[in-house]
Each structure stands twice: as C-alpha cells, then as structure tokens.
A = this chain, B = another copy of it.
Amino acid sequence: MDKILRINMGAKGGPMFKTEPLGDYAGLGGRAMTSAIVSSEVPPLCHPLGAENKLVIAPGLLSGTSAAMSGRISVGCKSPLTGGIKEANSGGMGAQTLARLGYAAIVLEGNPEGDDLFKIIINKDGVKIEKDNSLKNLTNYELVDKMKEKYGDKIACISIGPAGEMKLGAASIAVTDMELRPSRHAARGGVGAVMGAKQVKVIVLDDSGLKNREPKDLEKFREANKKWVEGLTTHSVTGQALPTYGTNVLTNIINESGGYPTYNFSEGQFEGASKISGETFAELENKRGGPGAATHPCHRGCVIKCSGTFYDKDGNFVSKQPEYETVWAHGGNCGIDDPEVIAQIDFLDDTYGIDTIEMGVTIGVAMQAGIAKFGDAKAAIELIKEVGKGTPLGRILGSGAAVTGRVFGVEKVPVVKGQALPAYDPRAIQGIGVTYATSPMGGDHTAGYAIATNILKVGGFVDPLKPEGQIDLSRNLQIATAAVDSSGMCLFIAFAVLDQPETFQALIDLLNSCYGLSLTGDDIVALGKKVLKMEREFNEKAGFTREHDRLPRFFYTDPIKPHNQTFSVKDSELDSLFNW
C-alpha cells in the first residue's frame, strides 16, 4: 500500500494512468486519505460533476492485513448532494482487495469527452482501462454477473448502477461482498454521480496471487489482533446484539425511545415497528434458512457478522438483510410495515445504485407532497422503479430529498446541507441532532453516533431529551469517528472501544505493530481532529458558514410526539463544537 493510482479520464486521446509514491499523503488511509486529497487538490468552488472534481477511493490503514474488521473502503469527492466535501465508506471486499494490490488510493481525475463508458481492471500485473459501452444502463447485479463471467469469481467490483450513470444526487457506489453481490455501498452524498461523471462503470479488482499485507512486527500484531477479537466478541453490542439481529436490532430500541421518525418526521413512534424489527427479520430469516441467512460477514476478517441474507418463502434470494437505516427509511418513515416489501426495495436500491437513506427520506417527502399515500407499499416500489427507469419523476426522486422538496413545494424536508437525515429524530435524541447539524458531511448519523451514549448507554450516558452535554458528546464522537474511518475499521468496533480501554489499546497496538509506530490515544485524537479540520476548511472555501450548521427550521418549531419536544441545543453551542 505504498502507491497512489491516478487515472486521468479526461486525457486527450483517451484515459491514461500513472502510479505515484505517496509523497505528502504517506501515513494516511481511508477518510484521512480521501479528505486530504480532495481538500488539497479539488477547487472548492468547482462543479461536483465537472472535470475539476476528483473521485478518491482509499482502503483504510489496516485494510489488507489480517486485522479483524479492517474491510472499510472510503470514497471521497466534492459532493453533488451537499456541495461540500464528502467521505462515504463501505464494507464489502473492496478495501481488502485494493490494499492487497498495494494501492493506498485510486484517484479518478478529469472527465472524458463524449459519452463512452469505461471499466478499469486492476490485478497484480497492473492496470487496464477499457471502453465498454455494452455496460451502459446495467444494474449493479447485472453488471457484476457479467464481470464474474469474464474475470472469474476471485474479483471484487466497485461499480455504479443506472443512478450513477444518470448522475443523480442519491447515486451510490456499490462494493461487492464475499459472495460477489453488490450489496455494500458507499452510499451517501451522491458519490455515484461523480463516478458517473467520470464515466467509469466499474473497477474490477483481482488480488489473485497476492497475500495479506505484512505488518512490521508480526508477533505483536498477532497478539494485538487476538485481544482485539476478544474485546469485540465479548461486548454485548458487537458480540451479541449485532450478530443475532443485525443493525436492525435498533428498530424496537429507537421506537421505544420515541425518536423513531415516522411519516416523514411527523411522529416519534411507529405502530408497525414490531412488524419490521430486527427480531422479526431474524425470526423470518432463521425460519427460511439458506446460506448466511441471519448471520453473515460482509468482508473477510469480520468477526461481528451483523449482516444476513433475505430469502423469500420459496428460498429465492431477495436481498441482503436490510440494514436498520434502510428498514426505517423505507419502512416507518413511509408508514410501511411489510418486511418483504422492504427487502425488495433494498434490492432495487442496491441494483440501481441508490442510497437507501436518501431514497427512503425522499419517498417520505414525496408522500408528504401527496405523490403517494403514507403506507402504500406498492406505490413505494413503483416510485423506486421510476428512478431505475430514469423518468422525469424518477430523476426528481433520485436527486434526493432536498430537490424533491423544491420540485413539489414541500416545506418539511429533513435534510442538513442538502443531505437526508437518518433514522433518529433529533427532537427526541438531541445528541444526534448536534452531529446532523455540525458534521462536515451533512445529515449523517455515522459521523458522530450519539445514539451510543444517548440511548444505548455505551461510553456513559447523556440524557437524550436535554441539551446538556450533547456538544461534548458529539464532538468527541466526531473526532473518534474521523480517526476510525481512516483506519479501515468498521465503525461498529466503537461500541467495544468506547466501553473497554483494553480494546482501544488493542486497536492502537494493531496500528503500531503494523506500521512500526508508537502512537498513543492522543495521536488518534489528533488524527481525528486533523481530518475534521481539513474537511471544515474545504467546506468553508466552498461557501459553508455556521448558518449551514443548523437543523431545518421545523425541528425548532414543531414538537414531536411522544415527548412533545423541539430541538433545544442553542446555536451558540453548535458553533462551539469545533473549538477544541
């Protein structure tokens, strides 16, 4: 992982590539790498779909090693959805494979002339860029089948579906999992649209003949990894809740808390929650059986295995086990309580290449506008299909919640910096509201997952209904997350790391023994701050001010049931978040 692959898609006479040493980017991985390259090389005022934007794909610092949970890959660019800097990361096999191939980053630069579509093949022998217009309009699942046929099943694919080709604001970048399903997504911020603008349909990674990366101190690394796995498998969230029920274990918990946004953020509890809970899905999946039914890892080296596989009653594959955010966005947020429908929609989102959060929130906004009725599952499926077909209505919806709100004149549009809010109402869970408002990423739960401490009582407890303590909570989580997102580690490790000092130490030991360093906890904090600072500076140059670090007005004016509260963290407090 000692080089950067730069591909100039806009080179005269056709795309060209070169490899470079890391230079100033040495020592960076994942989000730190993507945000460093974007912030130093992309003009903040460029058009996100223009030739000046760059799409950076980077495995984390520990990706490609034998460290457990190290399979996250980061994708960065100027976001077409927010207009600010973006890092979206994904599980699947992309990170491990790219890291074993030795690349610390792929940087797609420039835009081709004309409308040809390209594929990029990377293996141990090098890089090949080929025009392939036969791939046009293929869905992700169709595309991956074709790639498998041609390049065998030892590959990993990073690809866009029709949504990315259409350059829609909700377009994701798909990453294949261990079964070569394009079920993992760097979903947020329209990163797929930037890949579409670069006219790259798929990057095929083949690490055949290559081994895991060698840590500098193999013995210490093995020792640290053992403690690391121990810590993860013994914590109640990562050792029990997530393996058993997946992320959707949250449905009942969040609904119970009164912070489950229902009917486009109009209520805080959904009467149909139990029908779509993690418990219900797990029961269904266990009953139906099949490979990887209720427990399934998305990448090699995962020990949490929070995923699963959803088969229909006849045993046919429907989709991966839908994640909590997906179940909420397409479920409670739209008043839909049918697991079968949600799984079908999950598949459609994955194969068209759409962010499930953005899409579900958008359909909620469309329902608010009267385009369909809340609870109308059939209509919801049809609306997603419109996106796949690229009809005018589909393009509106595929452009995300903010644009859909504009087009249909809807006032209640739950977005921050143009990006749809996830599955937690900030009026009932104030800490997550602070993260939504202030994260350089726009409305994003992963950027500082206050739910951990507000609701799950991990890393202490801060009362979710009160403004006190939320700034400190979100600040610390945002810093920690920026560091974790740079390591290649799945964010779910944070539950164990927050609660168990020895597990945090094991993570530091992994980094130190891998790179021959002697980092301390303070260095990890410093890395997180450095990443956030770069991101904030980019956004400032792109025109963002403290006024963009606010929730939409209705969170301040309209109380929500059952707590009948509004968001009450003061503006001046929000403005203090990045004063550290």
B45, B47, B411, B545: the one contacting A543 at CB < 8 Å is: B545
Asked if A234 is an interface residue, CB under 8 A from chain B, the answer is no
Task: Kindly provide the distance from the CB of A334 to the nearest chain B CB, expressed in whole angstroms.
Answer: 19
Asked if A289 is an interface residue, CB under 8 A from chain B, the answer is no
- Distance A78 CA – B11 CA, assembled complex (angstroms): 44
Asked if A23 is an interface residue, CB under 8 A from chain B, the answer is no
Asked if A46 is an interface residue, CB under 8 A from chain B, the answer is yes
Q: Could you tell me if A395 and B411 are in contact, using CB atoms closer than 8 angstroms?
A: no
In the complex, residue of chain B having the shortest beta-carbon distance to the beta carbon of A549: B543
What 1/0 flags go to A375-409 for Cβ under 8 Å of B? 00000000000000001110110010001001111
Contacts of A10-66 to chain B: CB distance below 8 A: 43-47, 49-50, 52
Collect the chain B residues with CB atoms within 8 Å of residue A542's CB.
547
- Distance A200 CA – B369 CA, assembled complex (angstroms): 19
Asked if A531 is an interface residue, CB under 8 A from chain B, the answer is no
13 additional A-B residue pairs with CB within 8 Å, beyond A167-B409, A197-B411? A46-B553, A47-B411, A49-B409, A49-B410, A50-B411, A50-B553, A168-B409, A197-B409, A391-B392, A392-B396, A399-B406, A403-B406, A543-B545
Collect the chain B residues with CB atoms within 8 Å of residue A545's CB.
540, 543-545
Asked if A533 is an interface residue, CB under 8 A from chain B, the answer is no
Task: Kindly provide the distance from the CB of A542 to the nearest chain B CB, expressed in whole angstroms.
Answer: 6
- Distance A395 CA – B406 CA, assembled complex (angstroms): 9
Collect the chain B residues with CB atoms within 8 Å of residue A409's CB.
49, 166-168, 193, 196-197
Asked if A541 is an interface residue, CB under 8 A from chain B, the answer is yes
Asked, given contacts A395-B396, A399-B406, A543-B545, whether A45 binds B166 with beta carbons under 8 Å apart, the answer is: no
* 5 CB-based A-B contacts, threshold 8 Å: A47-B553, A47-B554, A392-B396, A396-B396, A407-B407
In the complex, residue of chain B having the shortest beta-carbon distance to the beta carbon of A171: B409
Task: Give how many copies assemble into the complex.
Answer: 2
Q: Could you tell me if A403 and B411 are in contact, using CB atoms closer than 8 angstroms?
A: no
Most B CB within 10 A of own CB, among A43, A168, A553: A553
Q: Could you tell me if A407 and B396 are in contact, using CB atoms closer than 8 angstroms?
A: yes
Most B CB within 10 A of own CB, among A47, A197, A406: A406
Asked, given contacts A45-B547, A406-B399, A548-B543, whether A553 binds B392 with beta carbons under 8 Å apart, the answer is: no
Asked if A320 is an interface residue, CB under 8 A from chain B, the answer is no
B44, B50, B403, B552: the one contacting A403 at CB < 8 Å is: B403
- Distance A187 CA – B520 CA, assembled complex (angstroms): 61
Q: Could you tell me if B392 and A52 are in contact, using CB atoms closer than 8 angstroms?
A: no
| Shortest Cβ-Cβ A-B pairs, 5 listed | A167-B409, A543-B547, A392-B393, A392-B392, A395-B407
Asked if A169 is an interface residue, CB under 8 A from chain B, the answer is yes
B52, B410, B543, B547: the one contacting A541 at CB < 8 Å is: B547
Asked if A188 is an interface residue, CB under 8 A from chain B, the answer is no
Asked if A296 is an interface residue, CB under 8 A from chain B, the answer is no
Asked if A550 is an interface residue, CB under 8 A from chain B, the answer is yes
Collect the chain B residues with CB atoms within 8 Å of residue A541's CB.
547
Contacts of A158-181 to chain B: CB distance below 8 A: 166-169
Asked, given contacts A541-B547, A553-B45, whether A169 binds B411 with beta carbons under 8 Å apart, the answer is: no
- Distance A322 CA – B553 CA, assembled complex (angstroms): 40
In the complex, residue of chain B having the shortest beta-carbon distance to the beta carbon of A50: B411
Task: Kindly provide the distance from the CB of A405 to the nearest chain B CB, expressed in whole angstroms.
Answer: 9
Asked, given contacts A52-B553, A391-B392, whether A44 binds B407 with beta carbons under 8 Å apart, the answer is: no
Q: Could you tell me if A399 and B392 are in contact, using CB atoms closer than 8 angstroms?
A: no
Task: Kindly provide the distance from the CB of A208 to the nearest chain B CB, expressed in whole angstroms.
Answer: 36
Asked, given contacts A542-B547, A543-B545, A553-B47, whether A403 binds B407 with beta carbons under 8 Å apart, the answer is: yes
